[in-house]
Amino acid sequence: MAENIGKVAGVNGNMVTVAFTGTVMQNEVAYVRTGNEILKSEVIRVQGKRADVQVFEDTYGIKVGDEVEFSGELLSAELGPGLLTQVFDGLQNPLPRLAEASGFFLKRGVYLNALDPERIWDFTPLVKVGDTVRAGDRIGFVPEGIFKHYIMTPFIWQGEWTIDAVVPAGIYQAGEAVAKASNANGEKRDITMIQRWPVKIPINHYAEKLLPEKPLVTAQRIIDTFFPVAVGGTFCTPGPFGAGKTVLQHAISRYADADVVIVAACGERAGEVVEILREYPHLEDPRTGKTLMDRSVIICNTSSMPVAAREASVYTAVTLAEYYRQMGLNALLLADSTSRWAQALREMSGRLEEIPGDEAFPAYLESRIAAFYERAGLVKLRSGELGSVTIGGAVSPAGGNFEEPVTQATLKVVGAFLGLSRERSDARRYPAIHPLDSWSKYTSVVNLKELDFARHILRRGSEVNQMMKVIGEDGTSLADYVIYLKSEFLDYVYLQQNTFDPVDASSDLKRQNYVFDKVSEVLAHEFKFEDKDEARRYFLELRQLFLDWNYIAEKDAKFKTQEAAIDAKIKENSANA
Amino acid sequence: MRKVYHNIVRIAGNVIAVEADNVANNELAEVISSQGKSLAQVIRLQDNLVYLQVFAGSRGVSTGDPVRFLGKRMQISASEMLLGRILNGCGEPRDGRPELNIDMVDIGGPSVNPSRRIIPRNMIRTNIPMIDVFNTLVESQKLPIFSIAGEPYNQLLARIALQAEVDVIIIGGMGLKYDDYLYLRNTLENQGALNRSVFIVHTAADPTVECLMVPDMALAVAEKYALEGKRVLTLLTDMTNFADAKKEIAITMEQIPSNRGYPGDLYSQLASRYEKAVDFDGAGSITILAVTTMPGDDVTHPVPDNTGYITEGQFYLRNGRIEPFGSLSRLKQQVNGKTRKDHRAIMDAMIRLYAEYKNSLEKQSMGFLMSAWDNKLLKYGKLFEARMMDLSVNISLEDALDLGWKTLAECFDKNEVGMKTDLINEFWPKAQDGKN
């Protein structure tokens, strides 16, 4: 095919207008050639014989008349073994290898293969000559970390294909053909371990989508108990800056019960990614004994990296998650922050001079956000196995105001809303998820009756607290005051959790149930106090015992002695004594 | 010799459009008008039209004035000779000494590869308890000081600059009042710090657009020094002026504003500057402290709001004190576990109790009867403000922690402070033991 070349006719920020003569496809990748550099870009609008492309790089130095090459391919991700443990930018360039190529700084116009085609893998075939396969069917597998990484018929292939040849089990390079196939039209194609898929289109090569019901244990008490997340579900964590969104996301990425974790650092601080990059290779994954890095892929397009690539990064991330779902694995995608992605849409929409909606966001903001979260889901594969993609998105609302368009559009489509509040983070009550405003449509891991009662106490406690601010402590009855103290107690010993303490940072299902029963016992217990001072003192002491208990590992002998001390304390002021 | 163009077809705000060809995006040009020579930068290309922002402003520019393209991007000298020098917003000397043309570096260079960054690990001691104890400043951190006009933010900057252990101080002034500029210069000079400082100063009297280059120039120099292994502290004051200049250009270019007239890319623009803060693996570091004045003391204003999402925390300077609420150093966890083992516990407990003090204070002001607990909190709050929050307090971190324990012991019983029992046993001042 002849090269399809256009010429630059205008530059406006990271948008370049190209005059072309041939044909141009919406969303195809184009390369702007300026000086010695080749800059990747994507077609986002065509008008007459002019195409607007968003450039994934800084646009300095581009001149009117520079050549632009249209590639004919949609923006795609490379899928295959070797994705795990990698660190990519939004366009799936491996950052560590970029650093080897160009040093401290991200030189523009340098693109590398996401996967090394020469890396060798131990391949075991699953098909034989004569088998009929469709896109997504398994050809064989290679071991990747603790998983069988299935090599599948490329997802973009249409119709039925017959296997003409397949290699015997053995060591092969990722880029080598492991099978050959042909279809009824006589077309012949090779299957390698690496395939490409356009990132903006969902991979849906499964039998059916199921309702997410099973909880995804995050080991964060306030989430699993009060606002659970489901395997294959969606949740969002909006919050003003400084409320602890990123710390919470890191805690989830560390402790969540998922097979593969994709962290998409989208338009946020580089420093936050660095923590993951430098720490995960040394942190043990409690589920497998390997490191956390072994189950992670990091897509990192931080705030100072080009804006257009930021828009692509969340799609790249969700495509990788969907790819692992096709292998029957549970993938968790954490995107921090979807607001930055929405802002990238806004910037581009502004350059296109589209009629703006609320706060200058484009009118299609809601549908884009909905389409993104809809890529999550629990699915039954054609093999009968289950796989899932769970999506958790951080939202950074302007001014911390949840009424803004991105938060509102997100709330419409997610299954759980973990709203972080400035008020709680100012009071150092972490995680600062608001226990009254947040909600979840999924089922909790603890006894539901006890949970209802705990919620009731929280609500009543908040009411009493409000009332006390108006009528004062002395105007409040002792009974009401005790309810307030109980709600504060629940807050301190259960809702709050210290991420920086090795024990308290993660609370598994068993422990949560155990401790929640004990906390519920306190909440339901009838106490007898002379006056408010006595009540306050009593609850402070009880709180202290519980806090210390939270810091003791379950297998530690002190766990039981501390529990005994708590039991004794509960009896002390019992109304039934 | 580069070609000179004379056909200026549009002059609006500080942006002119000239018909020219073979011009590169973001390249520099010179516009020579009756008012003198001014630098300008290409900000948009549209067929044969070239849009330029003129740093000295478009006043007095005539449609027939010559525009000469320089074929290069904005550069600044980053040689050792720059130390002790004072430049203006165009990078020209404002100290009457000769211009420097060696070791030129491009400004606004590419961002650092995240995989080559390292986790910040060194505390910067300031001897201000509200910083050292509660929101520790860390080498390579980017931190704004949120304040309002009239607060002593430049004094705070100067004090941190002088007390922090760094190799080079770079001061980028944007829309700086002349008095403030003189104050900063004289303070550094009197303390003998001028010879390790670089001033890039745009004063309120200079043309607005000139301040757009200040952060980029300051950070380009900082980056060069950091790559040479130096620990650089960059002070930017005031970033709100920078954002306002960006707004002005965006409006002139008829961009659709997103929020209160600011362009939609405000976040990215601020981020690409702040993200220059870095600790290089095997070289030096850049720490950024930037003043952001909040119009109307409103933190939800687009400039402080976007800044807060970019930076690693923020200090609120209000009534001459660093506010304990809202102020945050996100990197403190990287260092405060290694200082002294009671550091984190004291930090959390004291702030939590101060929050409760505020509640009691509110109750008191509404005329409610104070309980015994309220009275304890009231006593504590006053001590906390005097011993920790007052900006004149100048003590080391360790002394501040000890003072914290002393304050807690003077006001509360051991079980009222909500700390781990083993820490209390170790650090609770012995003299107060009899009370409980």
The ipTM of this complex is 0.86
DSSP B152-169: -HHHHHHHHHHHS--SEE
Chain A residues whose beta carbon lies within 8 Å of the beta carbon of residue B264? 343, 346-347, 350, 360
Nearest CA in chain A to B337: A500
Give the distance from residue A24's alpha carbon to the nearest chain B alpha carbon, in angstroms: 20
Give residue B1's pLDDT. Answer: 52
Strand order in the sheet with A170-173: A147-152, A138-144, A120-125, A170-173
CB contact under 8 A, A98 and B333: no
In what helix (H) or strand (E) does residue B142 lie, and over which residues does it extend?
strand B142-147
Residue span(s) of chain A under CATH 3.40.50.300 come to 208-440
Fold annotation for A4-74 = Thrombin, subunit H (2.40.10)
Tell me if A378 sits within 8 A of A388, measured CB to CB: yes
pLDDT tens across B227-265, in order?
Answer: 999 999 999 999 999 999 999 999 988 888 888 889 888
Q: Which two tokens stand for residue B19?
A: 């018909």
Among A296-300, A330-334, B252-256, B316-320, the minimum mean pLDDT is found in: B252-256
Residue A527 C-alpha, separation from nearest chain B C-alpha, in angstroms: 20
Q: What was the pLDDT predicted at A257?
A: 93
Q: What is the pLDDT of residue B436?
A: 41
The CA distance from A532 to the nearest CA of chain B, in Å, is 9
pLDDT confidence tier of residue A272, bands split at 50, 70 and 90: confident
Find residue A386's DSSP bridge partners.
Answer: A380
The model carries a pTM of 0.91
> Which residues from chain A sit within 8 angstroms of residue B258, using beta carbons?
346, 350, 359-361
* Residue whose entry in the numeric block shows the structure tokens 């800059």: A39
Residues B86, B92, B97, B99, CA torsion sign: positive
Arithmetic mean of pLDDT, B348-377 = 90
**Which of B335, B289, B338, B325 is closest to B141 using CA atoms?**
B289
Task: Work out the minimum CA distance from A398 to partner chain B, whole angstroms.
Answer: 7
Q: Among all residues of chain B, which has the CA nearest to that of A270?
A: B114
Q: Which residues on chain A are in Cβ contact (under 8 Å) with B310?
A: 269, 303
Residues of chain B with Cβ-Cβ distance to A303 below 8 Å are 267-268, 271-272, 275, 310
Give the span between the Cα atoms of A169 and A123, in whole angstroms.
Answer: 5
* Residue A348 CB neighbours (<10 A): 24
> Which letter does DSSP use for residue A187 in this model?
-
**Closest CA–CA distance from residue A411 to any residue of chain B (Å):** 21
DSSP A431: S
Tell if the CB–CB gap between B227 and A104 is shorter than 8 Å: yes
Considering only CB atoms, A541 lies closest to which of B331, B348, B415, namely B415
User: Are the CB atoms for A511 and A550 separated by under 8 Å?
Assistant: no
Residue B255 and residue B394 share a domain: no
**3-state secondary structure at position A131:** coil
Please give the residue of chain A at the shortest CA–CA distance from B278.
Answer: A271
Mean pLDDT of A251-258: 93
Query: A431 and A222 in contact (C-beta within 8 Å)?
Result: yes
Residue A8's φ and ψ, nearest 5 degrees, are -65, 130
Cα–Cα dist A551/B427, whole Å? 19
Closest residue of chain B to A244, computed from CA coordinates: B330
Minimum CA–CA partner of A549 in chain B: B420
Helices within A431-471 (DSSP H only)? 448-471
Residue-wise pLDDT for A421-478, tens only, equals: 988 988 888 999 999 999 999 999 999 999 999 999 999 999 999 998 888 788 899 9
Mutant choice from B259, B309, B332 vs A, greatest count of A C-beta within 10 A:
B309
Would you state the torsion angle of the CA atoms of residues A118, A120, A123, A129, taken in this order, to the nearest 10 degrees?
A: 30
Residue A2: pLDDT band (50, 70, 90) is low
The backbone region for B87, taken as left when phi is positive above 0, alpha when psi lies in -120 to 50, beta otherwise, is beta
The residue among B333, B357, B376 that closes a domain is B333
pLDDT of residue B399: 95
**For chain A, where do the domains classified as CATH 2.40.10.170 start and end?**
4-74
Across the range A141-152, mean pLDDT stands at: 93
Contacts of B44 in chain A (CB under 8 A): 10-13
Q: Is B125 left (phi over 0), alpha (psi -120 to 50) or beta?
A: beta
Contact B258 A533 (CB under 8 A): no
How far does B283 lie from chain A, in Å, by closest CA?
Answer: 10
Domain range A208-440, its CATH number among 3.10.20.70, 3.40.50.720, 3.40.50.300, 2.120.10.70:
3.40.50.300
Q: For residue B326, is pLDDT > 50? A: yes
B88 and B191 belong to one structural domain:
yes
Query: Shortest CA distance to A258 belongs to which of A417, A428, A391, A393?
Result: A391
Q: Give the pLDDT score at B434.
A: 44
Are the C-beta atoms of residues A82 and A43 closer than 8 Å to each other?
A: no
B134 confidence band (pLDDT: 50, 70, 90): very high
Could you tell me the pLDDT band of residue A287, with boundaries at 50, 70 and 90? confident
CA angle (B155, B156, B157) in 5-degree steps: 90
3-state secondary structure of A561: helix
**Sign of the alpha-carbon torsion through B260, B265, B267, B270:** negative
Q: Any idea how long chain A is?
A: 577
- Looking at the predicted structure, is the pLDDT value of residue B127 above 70? yes
Binary contact (A532, B27; C-beta < 8 A): no
Cβ neighbours of residue B432 closer than 8 Å, sequence gap 6 or more: B409, B410
Q: Calculate how close chain A gets to B186, using CA atoms only, in Å.
A: 35
Task: For residue A301, list chain B residues with Cβ-Cβ distance below 8 A.
Answer: none
> Cβ separation of B258 and A346 shorter than 8 Å?
yes
- Chain A CA closest to residue B423: A548
pLDDT tens profile A51-83: 999 999 999 999 999 999 999 999 999 999 999
Whether B352 and A58 lie within 8 Å, measured CB to CB: no
pLDDT bin (cut points 50, 70, 90) of residue B368 is confident
Domain ranges in chain A with CATH number 2.40.50.100: 116-193
Q: What is the pLDDT of residue B431?
A: 65
For residue A135, what pLDDT is reported?
95
Are B278 and B425 in the same domain? no
CB contact under 8 A, B110 and A472: no
Nearest to B420 among A11, A65, A551 (CB): A551
> Which residues are CB-contacts of A267 (< 8 A; sequence separation ≥ 6)?
A301, A302, A303, A307, A310, A337, A339, A340, A341, A343, A344, B267, B268, B271
- Read off the pLDDT of each residue in A345-368 and give the average, rounded to a whole number: 90
Instruction: Give the span between the Cα atoms of A253 and A258, in whole angstroms.
Output: 9
Identify all chain A residues contacting B268, using CB atoms and an 8 Å cutoff: 267, 303-304, 307, 343, 347
User: What pLDDT is recorded for position B432?
Assistant: 47
Task: Compute the mean pLDDT over every residue in chain A, rounded to the nearest whole number.
Answer: 93
CA distances from A159 to A79, A154, A185, B124 (A): 21, 11, 11, 64
Tell me how many domains chain B contains.
3
Instruction: For residues B53 and B92, state if they share a domain.
Output: no
Does pLDDT of B433 surpass 60? Answer: no
Instruction: Give the three-state DSSP class for B228.
Output: coil
Chain B nearest CA to A63, separation (Å): 5
If asked whether residues B96 and B52 sit together in one domain, one would say: no
Q: Is A577's pLDDT higher than 80?
A: no
> B362 or B2: which carries more pLDDT confidence?
B362
Q: List b or e across A47-62, with b for residues whose CB sees 16 or more CB atoms inside 10 angstroms.
A: eeeebbbbbbbbbbbb
Residues of B in contact with A396 (CB under 8 A): 309
For B412, the domain range is: 340-435
Q: Do B268 and A551 touch (CB under 8 A)?
A: no
Show residues of chain A in contact with B23, CB under 8 Å: 63-64
Judgement on whether residues B46 and B118 belong to the same structural domain of the protein: no
| Residue B116: closest CA among A281, A105, A88 | A105
- Contacts with A341 (C-beta within 8 Å, 6 or more apart), sequence order: A266, A267, A310, A311, A313, A314, A335
Structure tokens at B310: 């970019």
Q: Are B88 and B202 in contact (CB under 8 A)?
A: yes
Of the pLDDT bands very low, low, confident and very high (cuts 50, 70, 90), residue B154 is very high
Domain of B251: which CATH number? 3.40.50.12240
The CATH number of the domain covering residues in A116-193? 2.40.50.100
What is d(CA B342, CA B268) in angstroms, rounded to the nearest whole number?
39
Best B41, B106, B116 member to test A by mutation, with max A CBs in 10 Å, is: B116
Q: Give CA separation, B237 vs A304, B78, B146, B172, B240, in Å.
A: 21, 21, 11, 6, 8
Burial code (b: 16+ CB inside 10 Å, e: under 16) for B146-164 equals bbbeebebbbbbbbbbeeb
Mean local confidence (pLDDT), B118-147: 93
Task: Dump the DSSP string for A40-89.
Answer: EEEEEEEETTEEEEEESS--TT-BTT-EEEEEEEE-EEEESTT-TT-EE-
Q: Is the peptide bond before A337 cis (omega within 30 degrees of 0)?
A: yes
Which of the listed residues B308, B333, B358 is the one where a domain comes to its end? Answer: B333
Q: Do both B323 and B345 map to the same domain?
A: no
Does residue B273 share a domain with residue B345?
A: no
pLDDT band, residue B35 (cuts 50/70/90): confident
How is domain A448-572 classified at the CATH fold level?
Answer: 1.10.1140
Chain A CB contacts of B255 under 8 Å are 350
Please give the Cα distance from A140 to B262 (Å, whole number): 54
Which residue shows structure tokens 């290898």? A97
Query: In this complex, which of B116, B369, B418 lies closest to A544 when CB atoms are compared?
Result: B418
Residues of chain A with C-beta less than 8 angstroms from the C-beta of B297: none
Closest-CA distance, B432 to chain A, in angstroms, reads 19
Q: Percent of chain A at pLDDT above 70? A: 99
Work out the minimum CA distance from A260 to partner chain B, whole angstroms: 21
Please indicate whether, in this complex, the C-beta atoms of A307 and B265 are within 8 angstroms of each other: yes
Among B32, B50, B69, the domain-final residue is B69
